[in-house]
Every structure is written in C-alpha cells, then in structure tokens.
Structure 1
Amino acid sequence: MDRSVAVRRMPPWTKWAAIAVALLVALAAFWLYAPRAGSQTVAVDRLTISPVRSGKFEDFVPLRARVTPLFTVFLDAIEGGRVEKVIAEDGVDLAPGQLIAVLSNAELQLSVLARQTEVEQQINNMRSQELALSQTRLANQRSVLEAGLSADKARRQYEREAPLAARGFVAGRQFADTQDQYRYEQQRLAVLRRGQATDERLQGSQLSQQRASSASLQSSLALARSSLEALNLRAPVGGKLSGFDIQVGQSLKRGERIGQIDSPGRNKLMAGVDEFYLGRVQLGQKANVELAGRNYPARVAKIYPQVQNGQFQVDLQFIGAEPTAIQRGQTLQAKLTLGDPAPARLIPAGAFYNETGGNWVFVVSPDGKSAVKRTVRLGRRNPDSIEVLEGLDVGERVITSPYTGFVDKDRLDIDLTAKD
C-alpha cells in the first residue's frame, strides 16, 4: 500500500545566500579583469621592447647631400638684341674672355653713334675754349712785357732829365711831362700784373674744370662704345658652360638669363639638416662622405640659417681630393659629426620619441606582464641610439615602439598570450 513521502525543501535563506555569493564572485572577477582607469591591455606583438645598455654614443647626423659646383657664375644678356651667331655649345669648357655668341641691335648701334658724335662735338668745343684761354694768357703776358718795357724807358728818361732839370737845362714843363709819363707807366704795369694774376687764377680753375669735363666725356664715350662691345657675349671666367640654349634669330631681352658657368673640376655638397640641430652646427665641423666603399672627409663651409619645411641648408666642401666621376645633381650619403664619442647609457632610437619628446617612457616590469610610465631625461640622439641622462638604469627594459593609442595611459597590461 502506497504512502506519501515528504519532500525536503531548502530553507529560503540558503537561496539568498547562494545569490549573494554569486554576486560577490562576479564583482571580484570584474575587479580583477576589467580595465582600470589609466591602464590598457596591449598585445605583446604590437610592442618593441628594448633594454637599456651601456656603450659609446656617437654624436652624428646622417645627411643626404646633393653635388653642386663649388662656384657658379650666371650669364645674362647685358644688352638685348637678336642672336646673329652662336659660337659655344652647352657643356663645353670655356676660357676666360672666350666668345660665346654675337648679338645685333640696330637701335642701340644708332644710339651709340649719336652719343659718340655728341660727345666728340663737346670735346672739340672744350678744346676750342682751352685754345682760346691759352691765347688770352699769351696776350696778357705780351701786354705785361710791353708795359714793362715802356716803364723802363720812362724810368731811364726820368733819370736822365732829373739832374739836368735841377740845373735848369731842361724846361720845367718838359720834366713834369716826363715825371707824369714815368708814373703812368709804373701804374699801368702794376694794373696789368694784377689783372694777369687774376686771369691766371680764373683761367687755371676754368682749365681744370674743362679737363675734368673732358675726362668725364671721354669716359662716357668709352661706356657708349662698351655697350656695343656687350653685344659680343664672352665668358667672364673659365669653367663649364651649362644651361645655355639660345638659337640664331632668337630675340633676347636686356638682362635675360642665358646660362651659367660652373667651376671646373671642383664641387661642393648641399644638404638639409633638421632644425633641431641648428644651434649645434658650426662652421668647420667635420663630415664624412661615403661613396663606393670609400670615405672622403669634408667640412661645413657655409650655413644657411633660414628654416624651410623644418630644415636648414649647409654647404660641405671636401678636404683634400674629392671623389672622381661624381656628377652635378648626384646624391651622396654623408655623416655630420657633432661631437666626439663618449660613454653613455643608451636605448635604441624609436618612434616613441616623437610622441613623448623624450620626457617619459613606458618601463617594462621584470616579469614582462606590465609597463608603467616613468619620467626620464634623455639627451643627445642619432639615428641609432638615444642618450639616457636620468631615470633609467642599465638592464631595464623600455617600450621603444610608437605609443599610438595609449599616450594618455599610466600603465599597460601586456598580453603575453599574443606572442608568436
């Protein structure tokens, strides 16, 4: 005979206790595994982790330098005209004064001829004036001589009559006339001499002015003639002609650029340097140029401090023999030395520097599971290494890859399971 069995049920408080335990476990798991504020989990394969090591820091800047002529002289058409003859070709070696091309300019030629005629007429007029002044000077000298002769005659007549007049042998009226004539001739001679001195002074000044004007006109005439000579284009210096491409019959404007002459066999290097190094680059600093497995020493010859696109330009000149067979426009690799090698703590150069400015880095924990932000002081840098001044010890490891995505974090949790 069946009988009913009593079902044993759990007390109500047990059910609520189980729910509470489950909530506590969920909260603990969330606290352990949920990302904290200021932290982020990053897969290890996204990071480049590098150790801090001890070594020698080589202070240099790599450069891409372009070969350019050491000296360049530009050729311009001093006077415009029509090209009548082209004598030299682009790329030839020129001697100083060598004829390159011949121009013609009818208007300039007529103008120069008119100017030449005008100047010659002015010169002839001044020569006529100079001749007239010379003749006036001679006439004054002749007048003074004649007056002097007359004064001497009057003096002798006076000296002969004076004792005779005293004895009564010469009439008083006649002796008075002799005295008056003698006095007149003396005064006339004195006046002529004063006038001659005045004329000499004025004529001398006038002659000096005329001679200066004549020299100026002669210079003007020579300049007019040189403008005609400028139609014959000549090489001002010796070197290689480049950029020269004019044709017979072509019309050139006054001052138009027609080419350039490059220094023969001598070159320099022009290179752009990051503006970060503007205060550290000095004239005379050493550089090294690598070409075909050989090194060629060079030095900084000129600095252009104007910054464009984050760079300034420098000129490098070879010390001693320069590489053979280098061509204008060729690009060479060079190293600009900023200082002597010195012992230092080093970390590899990485993209992190652009995002932190070298003020802080993420330092990896010894177990490699996390990294924390640490303030550091970094010094000099080159393409390979960065000098550590403060904040890191040899043997510690830092993240040197880009910090994109977690620049604002203070801590990184490194997921080692993503490691290959």
Structure 2
Amino acid sequence: MDTIINRKNKKNKYLLLAVPAFLLLGYFVYAAVTKKRSLTVTKSEITIKTVEKDYFEDFIVFQAKVEPLNSMLLNVIEGGAVQEIFVENGDMVEKGQPLARLYNPNTELNYVTQETSIIEQINNLSKAKLDLRNQELSMAKDLIAIDHDFQDAKNQYDLHEKLYGEEILSKNEWEKTQENFRFQKERKNIIQQSIQKEKQANQIQIAQISQSQAIMYKSLEILRENKKHFLVTAPLAGRLTSFEPVLGKNYQSGDNIGKIDVMNGYKLVAEVDEFYLQRVTVNQKGKIDHKGEMIDVVVTKVIPEIINGRFIVELNFAADKLKLQQGLSFGVRLMLSEKEKTLVMPKGRFTEETSGKWIFVVNGNKAERREIKLGRENPVYHEVLGGLKEGDRVITSGYIDYTDVEILNLE
C-alpha cells in the first residue's frame, strides 16, 4: 500500500522567515525614531550662565534727549515770499522782535479793496445816522410851532371866556374860540405822541447803526492788524532754532519756519518701544548718569500715539539748576516696579529661537533641552517662573543651529 507524504507549504516557510526580519526592522525604526537627536559642540562656542536667586528690579533703559522745558513754533500767518530776514538761527530774541518779512501783492491788493469797502460802509452808516438826527431836529421844530399855536389858542380861549362871561363877546365868537382851542389841543397831543414814537423808532435804528459801525470798525482794525502779519515777529523771548527761511521762497499760511525755545529749564524727551506703553505711567521715577553723578528724573507726560512702533515720553529733572545743553543725550533707567528677591537668569540670545519656552540645561558634559516658563524681564535678567531651580546651569547663547536638537554633547 502506498504511503501518503504531506508536501510542505512554501508560503508558511516564507512567512516564518519574514516575521523575524520585520520585527528586527521595526526595532531599528523605533530606535531611530525614539532616539534623541544630539549634536556635539565645543564649550567655547556657547555661553553658560547660572540660575540664581537675586533681587529683581523691573526697569527699562532708553535714550532721551535734552530739550527746553517750553517751546513755541513759528508759523506763517499770511503766506508770501520772503522779502527780508533780520536774524539768524540760534540767536537770542526778545518778544515782538522782527524776524522776517514776507510779501504777497495779491493779498495786499485784497486788503486795500476790503479796507475801502469797509470805510465806504462806515460812511454810509454815518450818513444814515445823521439823517435820523436831522429828522429828530425837524420834528422838534415842528413841535415848537405846534406848541406855539396851542398857547395862542389857549390865551385866546381864556380871554374870550372872560369876555363872554361879561357879555361883551358874542356866542358865535365864543363857540369859534372853543372849537379852535379844542383843535389845537388835540393836534398837539397827536403830534406829541407821533413824535415820541418816531423818536423811539429812531433811537432803535441809531443803536443798530452804532452797533453795525462798531462791528465795521472792529473789522477794519482786524484787517489792518492782519496786514502786519507779513512781518514775522517773536511771540516770546528765547533762543531761535530750526529757523532757515530762504529769500524769495514762498511760504503758505500755516507753514512752520522755526521754533523759539524758552530758556527757563530743560526736560528729557524719549521714544520708547510700544511694548512698554501699558507699563510706563506719569510720576514713575528713573535715573540718569550726569558727570558721574546719578540724577533723579520723573515721568511727567506719556503721549500714547504710536509712530513706527514707538511712543513719546517726557521726563523732568528732580534737581534744580542743572547746567545742561540742548541736544545732549542720556541713558535713562526707568523703574517699573520695586525690588524683590526671586529666581532669575541672565538674558541671552536663546530667546530669539525659543521665545523663552525652552532652554538647554547643562549636566556634566551634556546639555538637555527642557521646557521652562519665564516672567518679567529687564535689560539684565529674566524672571524664572518654572522649569528651573537655583543653581541650574543653562546655555544662554543663540540656538539658531540647535532648534531640532534635544541633547548637546559638550567638548
């Protein structure tokens, strides 16, 4: 009887060979993926600093220029071409002193035309007022004549009344006398009332005319005063700066041609990064180094308008009578908070790549990447809020070549 021999399945054979190979490949892939990337660097290429507890002082440092405490801009009031220049930039000037003269023939002609028109209107109003005065005078003359007629009628009435009582005057004559007296009396009353009303109306018109004339005279005064604006004068005493008009050059009304600095003190003016806008306030104190002496300053004004990423801060000197010169520049150290002891680490370029979220911590000949949390900062220190402890040594130099590295091997 034949014996049945089972044939081995080649597929099972291949499967048994593939499984170990696949597991071995998976191990190498896993090891490659999970292995921390490292890089070897020399210690001379990096900067290592120590985390420590120290007094943290929240402050900023910025440059500020010395400027006069008070200044006034010189603006052209009446536009025109520069005809004469009487002073030079940097001169000390007195209030009202002529600085330059401008001229504009069109504006000058316009002034003459307006002045003629105003004078003509004033004359017309004066004539109207004179006519009203003459009218009152004429009415006064009429009233005198009417009063004279009334007195004659009254005298005749008194006489005829006596004669009629003595039966010397006829009844017909007496009645005529009575009628004439009545007429003259009523006439006088009516004329008096009419004249009184005319006088009241005239007085109102005269008052209105006088008011109009006053306005005209004021306009004429302003017009003549404006003609003087071709002459640019100093509005106050001080030093003339930024004053560079050019003979023959035309300037429009409102153009700035210089500035007058009042020499009664100085202030500091600085442009500060907008990052500190919410942290800089009036009355904050700071210091500057003046000839080796630390001078106190205080913030007096914060102008919050942001221009090119910066805002303006003005500071005054706490000390009086400092001998300063306009244009000098000082480094201002402005205190943002009181001193307090906390965990700090020196600042470095590492934050340019890490944004302060991680850092390399040195342990022997290696440095390992670690997540951290930083708080406030000043030009010297970062405040450490988490991820580090006192005594840790960290690399604070730039990480531009280490962004994908987790371990640094130090040589």
By the TM > 0.5 criterion, same fold? yes
Q: Distance in 1 between matches of 2:337 and 2:202?
A: 75
TM-aligned CA deviation for residue 57 of structure 1 = 0.9
Q: What are the superposed Cα offsets for residues 94-116 of structure 1, whole Å, 9 maximum, x if unpaired? A: 01011223344444444434433
Tell me, yes or no, if the aligned pair for 1:40 and 1:406 is still in contact at 8 Å: no
The equivalent of 1:403 in structure 2 is 399
**TM-score, with structure 1 as normaliser:** 0.80
Tell me, yes or no, if the aligned pair for 2:83 and 2:103 is still in contact at 8 Å: yes
The one-letter amino acid of 2:340's match is A
Moved more, 130-139 or 154-163: 154-163
Moved more, 285-294 or 158-167: 158-167
Percent identical pairs in the alignment equals: 29
Q: Secondary structure at the match of 1:90?
A: coil
The equivalent of 1:285 in structure 2 is 284
Decide which of 331, 334, 337 is 1:336's aligned counterpart: 334
Cα distance 1:216–1:147, how it changes in 2: closer, same or farther (>3 A)? Answer: same
Tell me, yes or no, if the aligned pair for 1:284 and 1:301 is still in contact at 8 Å: yes
Tell me, yes or no, if the aligned pair for 2:370 and 2:387 is still in contact at 8 Å: no
Q: Distance in 2 between matches of 1:136 and 1:342?
A: 93
Q: Distance in 1 between matches of 2:343 and 2:54?
A: 6
The equivalent of 1:373 in structure 2 is 370
The one-letter amino acid of 1:184's match is F
Cα distance 1:302–1:37, how it changes in 2: closer, same or farther (>3 A)? Answer: farther
Query: Cα RMSD (Å) of the superposition?
Result: 3.1
Q: Secondary structure at the match of 2:303?
A: strand
**TM-score, with structure 2 as normaliser:** 0.82
Q: Distance in 2 between matches of 1:402 and 1:35?
A: 26
TM-aligned CA deviation for residue 282 of structure 1 = 0.6
Q: Secondary structure at the match of 2:371?
A: strand
Tell me, yes or no, if the aligned pair for 2:372 and 2:388 is still in contact at 8 Å: no
TM-aligned CA deviation for residue 237 of structure 1 = 1.4
The equivalent of 1:351 in structure 2 is 349
Q: Secondary structure at the match of 1:327?
A: coil
Q: Distance in 2 between matches of 1:379 and 1:177?
A: 120
Residue 386, structure 1, aligned to residue 398, structure 2: no
The equivalent of 1:3 in structure 2 is none
Q: Secondary structure at the match of 1:392?
A: coil
The equivalent of 2:201 in structure 1 is 202
TM-aligned CA deviation for residue 381 of structure 1 = 0.8
Q: Which runs of 5+ in 2 are unaligned?
A: 1-19
Tell me, yes or no, if the aligned pair for 1:76 and 1:259 is still in contact at 8 Å: yes
| Equivalent residues in 2 for 1:170-185, closer than 5 Å | 170-185=169-184
The equivalent of 1:135 in structure 2 is 134
The equivalent of 2:7 in structure 1 is none
Q: Secondary structure at the match of 1:230?
A: helix
Q: Secondary structure at the match of 2:294?
A: strand
Cα distance 1:39–1:190, how it changes in 2: closer, same or farther (>3 A)? Answer: farther
Q: Distance in 2 between matches of 1:37 and 1:130?
A: 109
Q: Distance in 1 between matches of 2:321 and 2:166?
A: 113
Decide which of 334, 358, 363 is 1:361's aligned counterpart: 358
Q: Secondary structure at the match of 2:188?
A: helix
TM-aligned CA deviation for residue 182 of structure 1 = 2.1
| Equivalent residues in 2 for 1:6-405, closer than 5 Å | 31=31, 36=34, 39-43=37-41, 45=43, 46-162=45-161, 165=164, 168-246=167-245, 248=247, 250-255=248-253, 256-264=255-263, 266-321=265-320, 323-328=322-327, 330-358=328-356, 360-362=357-359, 364=361, 366-367=363-364, 369-376=366-373, 378-405=374-401
TM-aligned CA deviation for residue 188 of structure 1 = 1.6
Q: What are the superposed Cα offsets for residues 237-274 of structure 1, whole Å, 9 maximum, x if unpaired? A: 111112333455x2433424332222226333222222
Q: Distance in 1 between matches of 2:124 and 2:409?
A: 105
The one-letter amino acid of 1:273's match is V
The one-letter amino acid of 2:384's match is V
Cα distance 1:109–1:413, how it changes in 2: closer, same or farther (>3 A)? Answer: closer
